[in-house]
Amino acid sequence: MADQAHTIHPVPEAFATGAHVDAARYAEMYQASIDDPDGFWGEQGKRLDWIKPYTKVQNTTFEFGKVDIRWYEDGVLNVAANCIDRHLATRAEQTAIIFEPDNPEDPAQHITYRELHEKVCRFANVLLAQGVMRGDRVVIYMPMIPEAAYAMLACARIGAIHSVVFAGFSPDALANRINDCGAKVVITADTAPRGGRKTALKSNADAALLHCSDKVRCLVVKHTGDQTTWIEGRDVDVKAQMASVAPDCPARPMNAEDPLFILYTSGSTGRPKGVVHSSGGYLVFAAMTHQYTFDYHDGDVFWCSADVGWVTGHSYIVYGPLANGATTLMFEGVPTYPDAGRFWAICDKHKVNQFYTAPTAIRALMGQGPEWVDKYDLSTLKLLGTVGEPINPEAWVWYDEHVGRGRCPIVDTWWQTETGGHMITPLPGAIPTKPGSATKPFFGVQPVILDPTDGHELTETATEGVLAIKDSWPGQMRTVWGDHERFQKTYFEQYKGYYFSGDGCRRDADGDYWITGRVDDVINVSGHRMGTAEVESALVAHAKVAEAAVVGYPHPVKGQGIYAYVTLMNGIDPSDSLKSELEGWVRTEIGPIAKPDLIQWAPGLPKTRSGKIMRRILRKIAENDYGALGDTSTLADPSVVDELIENRMNRG
Ligand code: WTA
């Protein structure tokens, strides 16, 4: 494994020749982006169509107490017009979205830019008819179907702020998000087929709306035609309405700094935060990173297998590709249905040129054996990408050999919901890769490694610490919805003057960055970001649970698994059936992605004398790493640790 990680994969020569950016150009552009950010980003901003061009470029400060991020602040544009209308003159008949349904027997759809324009306009008119106005919030709780993209773009067209909630979240989680952003409307579908099974989205939305204002309307896309309950006056049949409204809808001029969307993400404490992204800076950054990181060329078919419920789907299924006039593929299903060859069957069928997925999917498919890949024609693939969690060198090498067949550069892209787009990633024509390293910063991004104890910048090339960013970039989040204070505290308080990522990082002697994982109480489970505090609060909400502490532990396929230590109420006996009950409970409180992989009954939790749970110790026990427990002398009752270890060992 160590050897694999140390192998350098040079840029294939033929790739460099045709690439947008080769090594010399990367060096030159990177330098320019740091020396003269206004000049550099001023130029890059021109990749969009502006209704009123900006005269200012960067106006940002990371100073704690005064954090303020603005880019292109006096520019006026419309994001949907940039993703659709401006392409009509040259690409009206080009496919904008390829839709591949869950069931491979059902026909795929090819939606042209002309059709996309009409669908989005009609959808926007449906929203307007419901009284949705500029600045209003719209929650989108949808399957991976084209209507999800229409809904997002329709909001952008009329200046409404969308907040997509992943369809795997439970009614409670959905209700919390609807209430936090004060949404006027929820857009959902009847049911969502995935892997041959259906999720009842509309009935989840019904359950969520019981906890929301009765003014919230529910717009339903009848996707499968399955029967659902229907509340007259509240529920709206989107497709029927779309057929009756006008096919055109003017794109509303928006300020560059007007919010485009809110996306809830987990942090180390409290409830998920509503990450707010802007219109202008976000789109410049999404479009630019999509073009350069994937070396996207006109006519290529690009496939990002993420869900639109995550930031990856926002930036690299919808906004980045469409801003670039690309053909973007949307897949409704899962990698293992009807069999473990589905991803590769789709690459073959739709002649995919760039494929972008999560390490967890690669590991799961790797476990099924290479025959599932080998039987498909993957000769159209030019580049592969990964995102969401560190990739282990074995998975990287398998991806390279079996999917890329040794021809395709792999871009391991490090970024976050908060960053809007790629921050550290190889540019495929410029930067040699190493399995497991995200390599070098994108243009305008200045990563620094800080000493976690005192926050000073570690300037030696080869070093290790926590990852922070020195200056702003256009795709940076602007605030936490409704709580600018929390935004500042989360990202700018601990290490003054920097944006703190929450990730640990090593820089090697070549200046390549290796992300080592979160250093806070956030875990990455199958590439899904989860706050341990959220799972804990779900657990303690159960009547039989007195206390709970949740940590991540290494999991062979998921990357990290969820390990829950649970202390029961007095008089409640632990049992396997109670374990299943608690698992089911967390599924309904948050969603299936938060279900604990392991529950350990804990008669007591290790706490300091001031009552703080020592998670470091719990992490070590979950990892079966008892030798490195460190200092336990500050514990109120050190004997609980022995007891936990004994229980852990007994379970084998
Ligand atoms: C992790 C997903 C290692 C990291 C775009 C980060 C990664 C968190 C990588 C953000 C990568 C993302 N290598 N770790 N290439 N990409 N991460 O907000 O811990 O869902 O902080 O955004 O995922 O997750 P989020």
Virtual torsion, Cα 282, 288, 289, 293, nearest 10 deg:
170
395: left (phi over 0), alpha (psi -120 to 50) or beta: alpha
Atom 20 of ligand 1 has which residue's CA nearest to it?
529
CB distance 272 to ligand 1 below 6 Å:
no
Angstrom distance (rounded) from CA 344 to CA 348 = 6
CB distance 189 to ligand 1 below 6 Å:
no
Angstrom distance (rounded) from CA 187 to CA 216 = 10
Measured from the Cα of 425, ligand 1's closest atom is 15
Mean pLDDT rounded to a whole number for the chain:
96
Q: pLDDT at position 4, please?
A: 79
* Secondary structure string (H, E, C) spanning 436-502: CCCECECCCCCEEEECCCCCCECCCCCEEEEEEECCCCCCCCCEECCCHHHHHHHHHCCCCCCEEEE
Q: Looking at the predicted complex, does its ipTM rise above 0.90?
A: yes
- What's the burial of 509, exposed, middle or buried (CB within 10 Å: 0-12/13-18/19+)? exposed
Check if the beta carbon of residue 330 is closer than 8 Å to that of residue 318. no
Using the mean position of ligand 1's atoms as its centre, give its distance from the Cα of residue 535 in Å. Answer: 19
Q: Is the pLDDT of residue 269 over 50?
A: yes
Atom 8 of ligand 1 has which residue's CA nearest to it?
416
Pairing mode of beta strands 109-112, 95-100:
antiparallel
- Residue in this structure with the two tokens 């398998």, named with its chain if needed: 398
Angstrom distance (rounded) from CA 570 to CA 572 = 6
User: pLDDT for 415-470, tens place per residue?
Assistant: 999 999 999 999 999 999 999 999 999 999 999 999 999 999 999 999 999 999 99
Atom 24 of ligand 1 has which residue's CA nearest to it?
416
Question: DSSP of 531-567, one letter per residue?
Answer: EHHHHHHHHHTSTTEEEEEEEEEEETTTEEEEEEEEE
Residue 605's identity, in one-letter code, is: L
Q: How far is CA 247 from CA 162, 250, 343, 418, 536, in A?
A: 21, 10, 35, 35, 48
Share of the chain above pLDDT 90, in %: 91
Question: DSSP of 225-256, one letter per residue?
Answer: -------TTTEEEHHHHHHHS-S--PPPPEET
Q: pLDDT at position 636, please?
A: 81
Report which DSSP code applies to 398. H
User: pLDDT for 221-250, tens place per residue?
Assistant: 999 999 999 999 999 999 999 999 999 999
Q: Is the pLDDT of residue 123 over 70?
A: yes
Q: At what angle do helices 280-293 and 37-44 cross, to 10 degrees?
A: 80
Measured from the Cα of 265, ligand 1's closest atom is 18
CB distance 392 to ligand 1 below 6 Å:
no
Atom 14 of ligand 1 has which residue's CA nearest to it?
389
Q: pLDDT at position 652, please?
A: 40
* Secondary structure string (H, E, C) spanning 142-199: CCCCHHHHHHHHHHHHHCCEEEECCCCCCHHHHHHHHHHHCCCEEEEECCEEECCEEE
CB distance 390 to ligand 1 below 6 Å:
yes
Angstrom distance (rounded) from CA 23 to CA 57 = 27
Q: Determine the 3-state secondary structure of 288 from DSSP.
A: helix
Q: pLDDT at position 651, please?
A: 66
Q: At what angle do helices 23-35 and 37-44 cross, to 10 degrees?
A: 120
Check if the beta carbon of residue 538 is closer than 8 Å to that of residue 526. no
- What's the burial of 86, exposed, middle or buried (CB within 10 Å: 0-12/13-18/19+)? middle
Share of the chain above pLDDT 70, in %: 99
Retrieve residue 304's tokens.
């990002």
Residue positions forming the annotated binding site for CoA = 194-197, 312, 526, 587
Q: Is the pLDDT of residue 187 over 90?
A: yes
Cα–Cα nearest to 404, from 367, 430, 435: 435
Check if the beta carbon of residue 566 is closer than 8 Å to that of residue 545. yes
Cα–Cα nearest to 48, from 280, 255, 211: 280
User: pLDDT for 137-182, tens place per residue?
Assistant: 999 999 999 999 999 999 999 999 999 999 999 999 999 999 999 9
Residue 628's identity, in one-letter code, is: A
Using the mean position of ligand 1's atoms as its centre, give its distance from the Cα of residue 525 in Å. Answer: 11
User: pLDDT for 510-542, tens place per residue?
Assistant: 999 999 999 999 999 998 999 999 999 999 999
Q: How far apart are the first and last CA of the chain?
A: 26
Check if the beta carbon of residue 568 is closer than 8 Å to that of residue 601. yes
Using the mean position of ligand 1's atoms as its centre, give its distance from the Cα of residue 54 in Å. Answer: 32
